[in-house]
Amino acid sequence: MTIPLDPDEDTARDWLLQELAKSEYQQAKPNPIDQFFNELWEWFASLFNYAPNGVFGINPAWIFIIIGIIAVVVLVVIFGRPRAVARRRAEHGAVFLDNDTRTVAQLRAAADAAAAKADWSLALTERFRAIARGLADRTVIRLRPGTTAQGVAAAATAPFPDEVEELRRASGSFDQVRYAGLAAGEGDYEQVRDLDTRLEHTRPHLLPEPEALTR
């Protein structure tokens, strides 16, 4: 008759450790990397486990995750969106790009070259830029980063009151071509070109007369 084996607690623990120390068990043991991902997956899966003692039966960990997501969204809206909108506003409607340092002569040459190819849209925008650059070079207006075509026209109306309507028309054509995607025609380009020529040969009203300088 075989007597049932009934070791005490310490003996049973020693036997278990000896059994687990055998090579076949050690080889089956996951390596540290596998162990890490297993524990990570178990933690992630635990987030979806029903927690009857949690608030409204939700795992408390989800409360912190949701609060964190809301905080990130709020920070983006408060700090990121206004800056992005301001940057888009500064870029949208601007006559010149930040790296455009061409001279009046270069801009007019670019307009003439585009006109020779019947690219009236490009010719118009380049010619309007020539107007803006020319007025700035003559210190009639002041160009700032993000200055719009409407801003150029508004600043030039006082020095050239006889060209108010033509300035508004030219700036409107620039915006329609450059930012609304509308195509310009030959007549649109000629209007801006002729305006550029007249402004170049017209004395601004705000400049003092030569005799006033000698007083």
Which residues lie closer than 8 Å to 47 by C-beta, 6 or more apart? 59, 61, 62, 65
CA atoms within a 13 Å half-sphere pointing along the CA-CB vector of 116: 6
Average pLDDT for the chain: 77
Do residues 171 and 125 make contact, with C-beta atoms less than 8 angstroms apart? Answer: no
pLDDT over 70 (residue 50): no
What are the residues facing 88 on neighbouring strands?
none
pLDDT of residue 173: 95
User: In terms of pLDDT, which residue wins out, 132 or 4?
Assistant: 132
Copy the structure tokens of residue 124: 């118009």
What pLDDT band is residue 25 in, cutting at 50, 70 and 90?
low
Tokens 């003092």 belong to residue:
208
pLDDT of residue 42: 74
For residues 24-42, average pLDDT: 67
CA 189 – CA 150 distance, rounded (Å): 17
Helix locations, 47-96, DSSP H? 60-75, 81-91
- End-to-end Cα distance, the chain: 137
Q: What is the pLDDT of residues 95-144, one digit of tens each?
A: 887 688 899 999 999 999 999 999 999 999 999 999 999 999 999 999 88
User: In terms of pLDDT, which residue wins out, 18 or 184?
Assistant: 184
pLDDT over 80 (residue 71): no
User: In terms of pLDDT, which residue wins out, 25 or 170?
Assistant: 170
pLDDT over 80 (residue 160): yes
Angle, helices 120-137/104-116, rounded to nearest 10 degrees:
160
What pLDDT band is residue 199 in, cutting at 50, 70 and 90?
very high
Out of 15-24, 29-38, 52-61, 107-116, pick the least confident: 52-61
